[in-house]
Structure 1
Amino acid sequence: MATDPVPREVRFVSDEVELAGTMAVPDRGEVAHGVVMVGGSGASDRDNDTYFPPLRRHLVEAGIAVLSYDKRGVGSSTGEWRDATLDDLAGDALAALRFLRAQPGMRTGEVGLFGHSEGGWVVLRAAARAGAPWVITNSCPGMTPAAQDRHALANALRRSAATTRLAEGVLTWYDRLVDAGRNDLGFAEVASLFDEAHPFTGFWGDMDERLWEFQKRKQDHDPVPDALRLRCPHLAIFGGADELVPVADSVRLFGAAACHPDRDPRARLTVEVFPGADHRIRTNGGTSTAPGHLDTLTRWIKDRNSRLGPQ
């Protein structure tokens, strides 16, 4: 059985915070390719729970250096993600990109960005702000967090076999919560809404004042304008059975952005949907990586870099 590549603990600065992460480099020959991996929502660490290590192992074995890091305020990183904006998180991703590019043997034009779920919004914003040779979004919704979360909640209600009346009531509660955020209500003012939603307290069970403020800032973020501003190729990966993301709508929205007359000609879109795969592109109840997922990642990265020519 293959083992995880021997990692190196690293630290780098992004504005006022110090981020801690893991860098893994192929143990052979000259290193040129590299990828920064950005985790999903909440308190995601450098491994994004257990999701990143097998991806990192495969990429490093394919000759691609990988850097992933603890989100600000998580693990060994300073700061607090709940006090941040998506612009702040995008700045962290760009700081990681600069750090990896500065490592011996790395070629600036062959180090790109990978973002999972919410991390996809982050890397799209980062790539739109600064030069990146390519960007990969993995299970990244093409719509706002508010719309995506409503879809996920509706699916959770269906899985629970909730009655139509209960489902409608919970979704109405959710819509009221979103409206409260848009009206900039404070946490104390919306606390009663959480009490009313007791059948699905797990969905918002960790809500506190800090998280509520973060949620308000994020809920109407639209990734399409960032997609329109891309100046590099974009690979959008989805699991066909993802119950958290409206996959068909996301493909449509990213596709419409790619067809926009103002889109930079370098910003070619590739979409890969893996049938039967979940939010982490896994099958068999989440126990197996979807066939072809890992090979698609490495092949696409190397193909993009080979087209760049000598650096």
Structure 2
Amino acid sequence: MTVPNTGRAPLRRAWRRLAWTLAALLAAAVGLGGVVVWQNTYALREQKVSLRHDGALLEGVLALPEQGEGPFGLVVFVHGDGPVDATHETFYRPLWESFARAGYASLSFSKPGVGGSEGDWLEQSMDDRAEETLAAVAWARGRPDIDGRRIGLWGASQAGWVLPKVAARDGRLQFVIAVSPAVNWLRQGRYNLLAELGRDGASDQEKQAALRRRETVLGLLERDATFAQYRAAVGDADGMTAGRWGFITRNHRADATGDLAAMRGTPLLLVLAGHDVNVDVADTEAVYRATLPRASLTTARYPDATHSLVDHDLESSAWRLAATAVIAPRRLYADGFLADQTRYIRDLNSFLGGR
């Protein structure tokens, strides 16, 4: 007797299609996961390291090339503003890999109060930060896997007030790479204020109001006003904290010109972005060219990059920026930037006869 069709066969076919769809999605997810893991795997050997400086313990990372025993050249990282950990939330790793390709290790310590380091970075002056960097260089020169003759500095943004101080005091440094540095704290602040207002479409009235508020703040800084006095004069703190106000009062007179002049010809790569609303790159380049010997200065420009050397269009899209950071972190940086970092170190090393 033939059993009548009760709809089970179409149901089985539907379940099979669903199963195949789920399997395909799972395979895609596994494949994407593999891509993510691969893209976030770097040709490096990372070691956790620590340094005791000025009575406080600093914790960091020494990233060695994947192969070899050394001694390797070394790039010591100097952070920009903010609570930055040793890896800059992994943002540094593509750079470490680019230097490893040139046979150089990278060394980075978390700022005081960040990532296991003791202290409070907001209590530091630019001189304090320079002392900390000099201590890191001295620590590295004591290691058998580091070539003390081939140590250089890499720093971004606020590091522009630290790098020249260190290079002026340590004539043995092989090079300095300054990414998006400012020269004068107060000029940089005014430029940044107006650039952000212009980007956001502020009216002339809004710009004038912001400049008046700025003049009030500058007057308070000149008088070494307390945070309470700042609050009384300005009213809305606009995100300002007592710690941040203290940091600004210690550092608002910073100007790199004198330290740049004292560097005595240390080779320097100046990296400038075309969409920098934080730093007036024209002012920076003019001062660097007027102050440093022509033979020691190399300039690299990235017209499509922002202050952080990320592609401007990419940084303008939150979802693209987040996706790229996860799926292809090396592509966060502007085209050519990572390769140019490798090339600069290789060419400099070749020019100096592999010292």
TM-score by length of 1: 0.89
**Residue 139 of structure 2 is aligned with which of 80, 83, 99?**
99
How much has 1:251 moved relative to structure 2?
0.3
Letter in 1 for 2:52: V
C-alpha distance in 2 between matches for 1:171 and 1:37: 34
Query: 1:273 is paired with a residue of what secondary structure?
Result: strand
Contact 2:45 2:65 in 1 (8 A): no
Contact 2:83 2:111 in 1 (8 A): yes
How much has 1:210 moved relative to structure 2?
2.6
C-alpha distance in 1 between matches for 2:257 and 2:278: 19
Aligned residue for 2:335?
291
Aligned residue for 1:273?
301
Aligned residue for 1:225?
258
Residue 49 (structure 2) pairs with residue 16 (structure 1): no
Please identify runs of 4+ aligned residues in structure 1 that moved more than 4 A.
none
C-alpha distance in 2 between matches for 1:171 and 1:120: 25
Aligned residue for 2:180?
139
Contact 2:163 2:178 in 1 (8 A): yes
Residue 97 (structure 2) pairs with residue 57 (structure 1): yes
C-alpha distance in 2 between matches for 1:49 and 1:139: 19
Contact 1:45 1:70 in 2 (8 A): yes
Letter in 2 for 1:285: L
Letter in 1 for 2:289: G
Contact 1:97 1:113 in 2 (8 A): no
Aligned residue for 1:209?
242
Contact 2:84 2:110 in 1 (8 A): yes
Contact 1:237 1:271 in 2 (8 A): yes
Letter in 1 for 2:276: D
Letter in 1 for 2:179: N
Letter in 2 for 1:70: S
C-alpha distance in 2 between matches for 1:146 and 1:169: 18
How much has 1:190 moved relative to structure 2?
1.2
C-alpha distance in 1 between matches for 2:60 and 2:218: 34
Q: Equivalences for 1:133-212 in 2 at 5 Å? A: 133-141=174-182, 143-195=183-235, 201=238, 205=239, 207-212=240-245
C-alpha distance in 2 between matches for 1:74 and 1:230: 30
C-alpha distance in 2 between matches for 1:140 and 1:184: 26
C-alpha distance in 2 between matches for 1:291 and 1:48: 20
How much has 1:310 moved relative to structure 2?
5.9
How much has 1:196 moved relative to structure 2?
5.1
How much has 1:50 moved relative to structure 2?
4.4
Percent identity reads 33
Rg: which structure is higher? 2
Query: 2:59 is paired with a residue of what secondary structure?
Result: strand
Aligned residue for 1:303?
347
Letter in 2 for 1:241: H
The number of equivalent residue pairs is 297
Aligned alpha-carbon RMSD (Å): 1.9
Uncovered stretches (5+) of structure 2, i.e. residues with no partner: 1-37, 316-320, 322-331
Contact 2:102 2:346 in 1 (8 A): no
Aligned residue for 1:123?
163
How much has 1:237 moved relative to structure 2?
0.6
**Residue 258 of structure 1 is aligned with which of 292, 315, 327?**
292
Uncovered stretches (5+) of structure 1, i.e. residues with no partner: 260-264
Residue by residue, what CA displacement relative to the aligned partner does 1:252-271 show, whole Å, maximum 9, x if unpaired? 01111025xxxxx8x71111
C-alpha distance in 1 between matches for 2:231 and 2:89: 29
> CA separation of 1:273/1:193 partners in 2, compared to 1, >3 Å: closer, same or farther?
farther
C-alpha distance in 2 between matches for 1:299 and 1:57: 13
Contact 1:139 1:239 in 2 (8 A): yes
C-alpha distance in 1 between matches for 2:308 and 2:247: 24
Aligned residue for 1:262?
none
Residue 272 (structure 2) pairs with residue 238 (structure 1): yes
How much has 1:194 moved relative to structure 2?
4.0
Residue by residue, what CA displacement relative to the aligned partner does 1:182-220 show, whole Å, maximum 9, x if unpaired? 2211111111344357xxx2xxx1x22232122012112
C-alpha distance in 1 between matches for 2:69 and 2:284: 38
Residue by residue, what CA displacement relative to the aligned partner does 1:263-284 show, whole Å, maximum 9, x if unpaired? xx8x711111111110111213
Query: 1:12 is paired with a residue of what secondary structure?
Result: strand
C-alpha distance in 2 between matches for 1:64 and 1:51: 18
